[in-house]
């Protein structure tokens, strides 16, 4: 199985801050990397697919980059609704594993 | 707008079968997409369970493959999860979701998810 490792596991930031999370795959997954936002009690929300493509309706303050094994999700100018847990997921090969998540909370 | 809604019992006894249904609106389960299940045990991350396409192709997490099946009912526009011989380790919030195809220019992302349903395994 491909292991997905996210860092940090938790991050505190203030409204207006710029934050970045990383996701590392245990082997090359090309650009088959997706990012999701998950808030308690809500359905997970697709933010980014194909490593860097913004899902329709997602604000442009979200961006992502990377290919191969190393990926980054960046939020410029945090807003209050962005506090959530963020997961990366590889769709390169089955089983389509998720990272353990990065929890973003209010500083 | 595509909406998915999970339903089923919230409590299952050990060794029994967990059965959940996902009702889809705004799309057809006969469309080009895959339909799948993901779960999240308490305090843990997300785990991919499996996906199905047109009740013809199905792919499962090898860790669950001997106990799991996913099927489609086109007459009700629903798809279902069955997980046999459950234990306490199967206690989780179960999500249904729509998945894009994989291939050239197609990336296999889950773009629509249900709200999730908590299923506890306990006697």
The whole-number pLDDT of residue B56 equals 84
Structure tokens at B82: 């069955």
The whole-number pLDDT of residue B34 equals 95
The whole-number pLDDT of residue B64 equals 96
pLDDT digits (tens, 9 = 90+) for A71-80: 999 999 999 9
- The pLDDT of residue B55 is above 80: no
**Alpha-carbon dihedral of residues B96, B120, A96, B31, nearest 10 degrees?**
-20
B window 4-33, beta carbon within 8 A of A:
4
- The pLDDT of residue A107 is above 90: no
The whole-number pLDDT of residue B103 equals 81
Instruction: Write the burial class of residue B123 (CB in 10 Å: 0-12 exposed, 13-18 middle, 19+ buried).
Output: exposed
Of the ranges A47-51, B2-6, B56-60, B91-95, which one carries the lowest mean pLDDT score? Answer: B56-60
User: Read out DSSP for B58-96?
Assistant: EEE-TTTTTTEEEEEETTTTEEEEEE-S--GGG-EEEEE
Q: How far is B123 from chain A (nearest CA, A)?
A: 26
User: Read out DSSP for chain A?
Assistant: ---EEEE-SEEEE-TT--EEEEEEESS--TT-EEEEEE-TTS--EEEEETTTEEPTT--TTEEEEEETTEEEEEESS--GGG-SEEEEEE-SSSS--B---EEEEE-
Q: Which of B113, B87, B82 is nearest to A34 (CA)?
A: B113
Residue B101 — pLDDT band, cuts 50, 70, 90? confident
The whole-number pLDDT of residue A83 equals 95
The whole-number pLDDT of residue B102 equals 84
Percent over 90 (pLDDT), chain B: 87
CB-CB contact of B6 with B24 (8 Å): no
Q: How far is B112 from chain A (nearest CA, A)?
A: 7
The whole-number pLDDT of residue B105 equals 78
**Residues present in chain B in total:** 123
Structure tokens at B25: 């609106």
- Mean pLDDT, residues B107-115 taken together: 94
The whole-number pLDDT of residue B21 equals 98
The whole-number pLDDT of residue B75 equals 95
For chain B, the average pLDDT equals: 95
pLDDT digits (tens, 9 = 90+) for A94-103: 999 999 999 9
The whole-number pLDDT of residue B107 equals 87
For chain A, the average pLDDT equals: 96
Give the closest of B61, B111, B114 to A95, CB-based.
Answer: B61
Q: How far is B70 from chain A (nearest CA, A)?
A: 15
The whole-number pLDDT of residue B116 equals 96
The whole-number pLDDT of residue A56 equals 95
């Amino acid at each position: 199985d491909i292991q997905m490792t996210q860092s940090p596991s938790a991050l505190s930031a203030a409204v207006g801050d710029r934050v970045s999370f990383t996701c590392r795959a245990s082997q090359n997954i090309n650009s088959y990397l997706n990012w999701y936002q998950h808030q308690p009690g809500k359905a997970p929300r697709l933010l980014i697919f194909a490593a860097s493509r913004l899902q329709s309706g997602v604000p442009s303050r979200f961006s992502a980059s990377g290919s191969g094994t190393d990926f980054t999700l960046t939020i410029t100018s945090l807003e209050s609704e962005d506090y959530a847990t963020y997961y990366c997921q590889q769709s390169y090969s089955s089983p389509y594993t998720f990272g353990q998540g990065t929890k973003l909370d209010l500083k | 707008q595509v909406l998915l809604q999970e339903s089923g019992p919230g409590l299952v006894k050990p060794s029994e079968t967990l059965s959940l249904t996902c009702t889809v609106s705004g799309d057809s389960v006969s469309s080009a997409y895959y339909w799948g299940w993901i779960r999240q045990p308490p305090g843990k991350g997300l785990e991919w369970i499996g996906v199905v396409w047109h009740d013809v192709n199905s792919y499962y997490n090898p860790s669950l493959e001997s106990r799991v099946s996913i099927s489609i009912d086109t007459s009700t526009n629903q798809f279902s999860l069955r997980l046999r011989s459950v234990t306490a380790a199967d206690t989780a919030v179960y999500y249904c979701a729509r998945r894009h195809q994989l291939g050239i220019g197609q990336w296999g992302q889950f773009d629509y998810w249900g709200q999730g349903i908590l299923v506890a395994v306990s006697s």
